[in-house]
């Protein structure tokens, strides 16, 4: 093997490998011995056909491909060992010449992590205060949930519920064609086309209207985003929203055990306090780790980030597919997705995940943080809380599998490390020592 090290940059090494004819022949012979045992050749029992007969039967290219499948991984391992490299993932290989076999190898290396001074970070959770207005806003949403709607014979107003036939056309193609659909007349409805229902205001039952409305930049179908659409609307029915009184009768519908409006307000405030504190705590953790990353020196191969992003995209598409009932529904949703935006989004998530993992792992090592079996078991029980009871034993068994237990251990270790960082960040700064003045003694 002839090995040429082209360059190393951004924790990535680029190599070119040219194999010797003798090496190719060695692996061709091995490939022949494997294939001759599996291939049926007329006139020969399995395993007895000469190599030249096998080559004619399956083709030399097929035999060469079989040889390469073993030769390239073994040659890559030799090259990595000879160069003293420490890869973080499998190298990328590209064949640039068939005979003699020449291929290029790109090796992502183990990241360099020089952790910053996390003992100097000072940060606390933002204070949380629930106001009467916060509670009032929640109660107003509850009233809307229990609102009734009665037909009215008047022009449409904001807050009404209208039943309409609607057709939206752009570039001579309909993007919306629905009959008898209900819509709330609100600036934010529908969410994918803000302001659309404002055009309904003033219309009456039985009235038809044609108007133009521009689609937003983030409209799901990127082919028509920001395009002007011609809409035709026919109002079939108008209903007015009637909100229930804010009294003990509404409390009976919402939370019978609360009994009084004051008790419901107190419960809402308590739940909001817990929710806001949880969000403030998450924000503190994110800011803490971000500050640590900023203080640290991290050198990561772009291939490592790219590999993580591809994995996340694959998982996201699999999740989307599982949510669709048919292949056609899945393909239609794919058309509405901007893959460029998806890639950018997941690249950012991949970078965040990898950087978080690197700095937290390094702090855990420095602080000698250990994870007990009891802590792992408790984490697994926490992870399966949302799983139906009949499926929990299976989920528990899967998480205890050797392939998954290290991931669970990593989750617990990360939590303990973040908690330690919060304790350190909450410590008051040590008062600076005042310099002692020296008085010159008079002679």
- SS3 of 118, please? helix
304 in Cβ contact with 89 (< 8 Å): yes
Q: Grade residue 440 by pLDDT with cuts at 50, 70 and 90.
A: very low
Residue 434 binned pLDDT confidence (cut-offs 50, 70, 90): low
- The segment(s) of the chain belonging to CATH 1.10.3120.10 are 279-426
> Residue 285 corresponds to which tokens in the numbers above?
């953790």
Give the integer Cα–Cα distance in Å for 235 and 261.
39
CATH topology of domain 2-110: Alpha-Beta Plaits (3.30.70)
Q: Judge whether residue 31 has pLDDT over 80.
A: yes
- 181 alpha carbon, distance to own chain's centre: 34
CA distances in angstroms from 106 to 33, 301, 351, listed in the order given = 31, 11, 20
Cis peptide bond prior to 100, omega within 30° of 0: yes
DSSP state of 423: H
Phi (first) and psi of residue 424, to 5 degrees: -65, -45
Q: Are strands 228-242 and 208-214 parallel, antiparallel or unpaired?
A: antiparallel
pLDDT of 412 > 90? The answer is yes
| Domain 148-242 bears CATH identifier 1.20.120.1760 | no
Mean pLDDT of 270-296: 96
Q: State the pTM of this model.
A: 0.74
Range with the lowest mean pLDDT among 114-128, 166-180, 368-382?
166-180
pLDDT digits (tens, 9 = 90+) for 221-263: 778 888 999 999 999 999 999 999 999 999 999 999 988 999 9
Q: Confidence class of residue 442 from pLDDT cuts 50, 70 and 90?
A: very low
Specify the pLDDT at position 46.
Answer: 86
Q: Which pLDDT value is given to residue 49?
A: 92
Task: Return the pLDDT at 333.
Answer: 81
Output the DSSP codes for 270-302.
HHHHHHHHHHHHHHHHHHHHHHHHHHSEEE--H
> What is the rounded average pLDDT of the residues 411-418?
96
Please say if the pLDDT value at position 90 is more than 90: no
pLDDT score of 129 = 93
- Do 420 and 363 meet the contact criterion of CB atoms below 8 Å apart? yes
According to DSSP, the residues that pair with 150 across neighbouring strands are 240
Q: Which range among 273-282, 291-300, 433-442 shows the weakest confidence by mean pLDDT? A: 433-442
**Angle, CA 213 vertex, CA 212 and CA 218 arms, to 5°:** 155
pLDDT for 436 beyond 80? no
272 touches 131 (CB < 8 A): no
Percent of the chain with pLDDT over 70: 97
Handedness of CA 44, 50, 51, 55 (dihedral sign): negative
Percent above pLDDT 90 for the chain: 71
Whole-angstrom Cα distance, residue 200 to residue 181? Answer: 13
Give the CATH number of domain 279-426.
Answer: 1.10.3120.10
What are the start-end ranges of the E strands in 109-227? 112-114, 148-151, 161-170, 173-184, 208-214
Portions of the chain given CATH number 3.10.50.40:
148-242
**d(C-alpha 297, C-alpha 112), whole Å:** 8
Mean pLDDT for the stretch of residues 432-438: 54
Residues of the chain with CATH 3.30.70.1050: 2-110
What pLDDT does 431 receive?
Answer: 66
Question: What is residue 96's three-state secondary structure?
Answer: strand
What token pair was written down for 362?
């390094």
- Predicted confidence at residue 130, as pLDDT, reads 94
CA separation for the pair 251, 247 (Å, rounded):
7
Band the pLDDT of 433: cuts 50, 70, 90: low
* Arithmetic mean of pLDDT over the chain: 91
The per-residue pLDDT for range 40-71, each reduced to its tens digit, is 999 898 889 999 999 999 998 899 999 999 99
- For residues 234 and 165, the answer to whether their CB atoms sit within 8 Å is yes
Count of CA atoms in the C-beta half-sphere (13 A) of 157: 9
> Is the pLDDT at 441 greater than 60, yes or no?
no
pLDDT at 394 over 80: yes
């Amino acid at each position: 093997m002839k090995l040429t090290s082209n360059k190393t940059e951004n924790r990535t090494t680029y190599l070119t490998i040219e194999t010797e004819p003798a090496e190719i022949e060695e692996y061709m012979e091995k490939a022949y011995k494997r294939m001759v045992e599996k291939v049926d050749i007329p006139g020969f029992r399995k395993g007895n056909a000469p190599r030249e007969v096998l080559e004619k039967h399956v083709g030399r290219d097929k035999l060469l491909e079989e040889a390469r499948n073993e030769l390239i991984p073994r040659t890559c391992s030799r090259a990595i060992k000879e160069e003293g490299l420490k890869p973080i993932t499998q190298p990328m290989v590209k064949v640039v010449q068939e005979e003699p076999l020449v291929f290029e190898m790109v090796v992502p290396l183990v990241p360099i992590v020089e952790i910053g001074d996390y003992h100097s970070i000072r940060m606390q959770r933002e204070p949380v205060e629930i106001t009467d207005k916060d509670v009032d806003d929640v109660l107003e949403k509850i009233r809307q949930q229990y609102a009734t709607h009665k037909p009215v014979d008047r022009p449409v107003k904001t807050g009404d519920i209208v039943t309409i036939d609607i057709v939206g056309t752009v570039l001579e193609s309909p993007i919306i064609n629905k009959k008898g659909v209900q819509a709330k007349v609100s600036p934010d409805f529908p969410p994918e086309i803000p302001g659309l229902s404002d055009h309904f205001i003033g219309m009456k039952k039985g009235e038809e209207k044609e108007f133009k409305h521009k689609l937003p930049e983030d409209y799901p179908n990127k082919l028509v985003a920001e395009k002007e659409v011609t809409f035709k609307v026919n109002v079939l029915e108008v209903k007015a929203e009637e909100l229930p009184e804010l009294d003990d009768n509404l409390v009976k519908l919402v939370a019978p055990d609360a009994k009084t409006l004051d008790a419901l307000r107190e419960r809402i405030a308590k739940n909001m306090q817990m929710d806001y504190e949880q969000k403030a705590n998450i924000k503190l953790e994110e800011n803490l780790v971000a500050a640590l990353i900023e203080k640290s020196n991290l050198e990561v191969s772009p291939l490592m980030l790219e590999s993580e992003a591809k994995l996340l995209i694959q998982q996201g598409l699999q999740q989307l597919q599982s949510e669709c009932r048919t292949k056609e529904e899945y393909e239609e949703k794919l058309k509405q997705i901007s893959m460029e935006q998806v890639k950018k989004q997941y690249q950012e998530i991949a970078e965040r995940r990898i950087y978080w993992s690197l700095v937290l792992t390094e702090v855990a090592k420095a602080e000698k943080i250990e994870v007990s079996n009891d802590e792992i078991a408790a984490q697994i029980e926490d992870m399966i809380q949302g799983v139906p009871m009949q499926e929990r034993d299976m989920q528990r068994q899967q998480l205890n599998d050797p392939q998954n237990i290290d991931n669970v251990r990593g989750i617990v270790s990360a939590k303990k490390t973040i908690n330690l960082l919060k304790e350190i960040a909450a410590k008051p700064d040590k008062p600076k020592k005042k310099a002692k003045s020296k008085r010159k003694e008079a002679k």
